Structure 1
Amino acid sequence: MEYKDLRVFLTVVEAQHLGRAGQQLHMSPSTLSRRISRMEQDAGTQLLIRDSGPLTLTPAGELFRQHAEQTLDAWQSLRSAVNTDISDLEGSLTLFCSVTASYSFLADLLARFRERYPRVDLRVRTGDAAESIPRVETGDADVVIAARPEQLAAGLTFRGISESPLLFIAPKAVGTVPQLSTSEIDWSGVPMVLSETGLARTRVNRWFESRGLNPNIYAQVSGHEAIVSMVALGVGVGVVPQVVLQNSPLANRVRELRVTPELEPFHIGLCSRTERLNEPVLQALWQTAGR
């Protein structure tokens, strides 16, 4: 059993609810439930009582909780004693990103950051990816994880982390969208599920404009995750970053459509106001991302 399993267990015990714990840990309730079940298998007994009310500890679960706290305290004491690289930097940092970004990029980045700077108070907020850059422009967030806009506003600095292709996706069942059944797709009639705003919408609009067409919009939604859900229901074709599709529980219910030319991929990274990059806490996060 790993230390991170013990941290997960203590978070669930404190929250007394898989949904609330999942929000803190950026995990789905089903993922947490499977993880707790594996811990119970390792321990050889039931640790939590799961019924309609708040989660409660069994007698064995209470012993396990004590063991988890003692083990993590001992581990932290050991790390502090032998690791002179741990910084005494203090402060707070508000970071905004989409739910998908929290799964794909934030978890690893924050694990490394917290190991190096345990005294920094990190406040993570999630929402629609299209809100990311505006949030840092207005000061609502100190830093965001976002796709680099085509024109980065003056006063902002971007540091790349990864790249994600932008994909057209359709329902898995062939024939659900009749316009896709012909040898030559009639894009003027294909029902589209698109983001209301944001970089993906800009690039899709440009793709249709290059063909002299306007997209036949079935629905406009906030958040790429919702696009995957609606396409999986069979209502039309959507466009999402590959990283969103990879992390979706509905990925096996949609298929990728090959289009020519391909859409320009997303370049994903950190973005912050340039004037604030000399602040020690932001400098620390920037350096961690570059390692």
Structure 2
Amino acid sequence: MIDALEGRLFLAFIALLEEKSFSRAADRLGYVQSTVTTHIQQLEKISGQKLFHRYPRGIELTEAGKVFSKYAYQYVHFVESLEESMHALDQPRGTIRLRTQESFFLTRMLPFVQKYTRKNPGVDLRIEQGSYQDILKGVLDFELDFGIVPQNPDRHDILFYPLLEETIVFAASEDVDRKVRKSGVQILNDELFISSGTSCLYHTSAVEVLNNAGITVKDALELPSLEMIKQYVSCGKGFALVPEIAINTELENGKLKMLPFHSKMSFSHGLIVHKNRELGFTAKSFQSEMLRFLNP
């Protein structure tokens, strides 16, 4: 098999996997569509397995394709790392792929990214947002170089580097806060609970705290953006779960109030990387700079 496999076949596979369309994959690679089709057919012939299901609406990986994808990402990553080493780089360059929660990026990571990209113009830093499970899966599948998660996964195949402690609080408008302080937190049984989604670890912890306080979440709203959550709540619509640092300005100007819960919710954010991922020069320098910046 090794004699027949070529790098361009792996690139075609990854482009099709990520673009989910033969035409878009061809555009991305600068090929005609038939070339991508031929490359995928060659891979399926070499591996002896069907790698993609073809549907009118697009493509999906087969079970064999899911297994193959991990090795495809590792292969491309290995070649990129080899290329870096062979050029004996004086400055980091290449691509770094990282996934994190939106709230962490906006409140903690953005200053570092601004500083890092100015210092390292040759690095293509690709940052995505995702839930805890999305981030962990991306690292386990070798799709990402790094992930940032709110707790240690405690897995033998994942390395966890602590970054900082994050305190999460319940926030509401001044009107809702006044009702809570007058009548108690039980009035929240009749209020809308807003978070970034049930797949978020913050949400799970919040529901536990609410249940312990005798509050049942009957009506919940999932919003995709931290800014949307803050704006929605500041209008007097329910209460939300947010990082404390994310509402400092709103607390100062009175647009939002922190609800009086005694239970403290805190999470130990950290950088994760697959134990078997060989980091190149650029990835190692990125990791070192981030750890120094966020955990001096």
TM (normalized to structure 2)? 0.56
Q: Distance in 2 between matches of 1:210 and 1:184?
A: 14
Structure 1 runs (4+) greater than 6 angstroms displaced: 247-251
Instruction: Map 1:1-291; keep pairs closer than 5 Å.
Output: 87-114=90-117, 117-126=120-129, 131-148=134-151, 151-172=153-174, 174=175, 176=176, 180=180, 182-186=182-186, 187-196=188-197, 197-211=199-213, 213-246=215-248, 252-263=254-265, 265-276=266-277, 278-291=279-292
Deviations 1:212-245 (A, max 9, x none): 5432324233344432222112111111112332
Q: Distance in 1 between matches of 2:260 and 2:202?
A: 17
Deviation of the 1:198 alpha carbon:
0.9
**Residues 128 and 222 in structure 1, CA contact (< 8 A), matched pair in contact too:** no
| 2:182 match: secondary structure | coil
**Residues 100 and 247 in structure 1, CA contact (< 8 A), matched pair in contact too:** no
| 1:219 match: secondary structure | strand
Q: Distance in 1 between matches of 2:92 and 2:177?
A: 55
**Residues 232 and 250 in structure 1, CA contact (< 8 A), matched pair in contact too:** no
Paired residues, number = 202
**Residues 177 and 234 in structure 1, CA contact (< 8 A), matched pair in contact too:** no
**Residues 277 and 283 in structure 1, CA contact (< 8 A), matched pair in contact too:** no
**Residues 194 and 217 in structure 1, CA contact (< 8 A), matched pair in contact too:** no
Deviations 1:43-70 (A, max 9, x none): xxxxxxxxxxxxxxxxxxxxxxxxxxxx
Cα separation, partners in 2 of 1:130 and 1:198, compared to 1, 3 Å: farther
**Residues 241 and 266 in structure 1, CA contact (< 8 A), matched pair in contact too:** no
Unmatched 5+ residue regions in structure 2? 1-88
Deviations 1:173-205 (A, max 9, x none): x2x578525342214334322332211111012
Cα separation, partners in 2 of 1:168 and 1:105, compared to 1, 3 Å: closer
Deviation of the 1:166 alpha carbon:
0.5
Deviation of the 1:169 alpha carbon:
0.5
Q: Distance in 2 between matches of 1:142 and 1:250?
A: 38
Cα separation, partners in 2 of 1:130 and 1:180, compared to 1, 3 Å: farther
Deviation of the 1:171 alpha carbon:
0.8
**Residues 170 and 254 in structure 1, CA contact (< 8 A), matched pair in contact too:** yes
Q: Distance in 1 between matches of 2:243 and 2:212?
A: 21
Structure 1 letter corresponding to 2:281:
P
Deviation of the 1:117 alpha carbon:
4.6
1:81 maps to: none
Identity %: 16
Cα separation, partners in 2 of 1:119 and 1:200, compared to 1, 3 Å: same
What RMSD in Å do the two structures reach over aligned CA positions? Answer: 3.3
Structure 2 letter corresponding to 1:184:
G
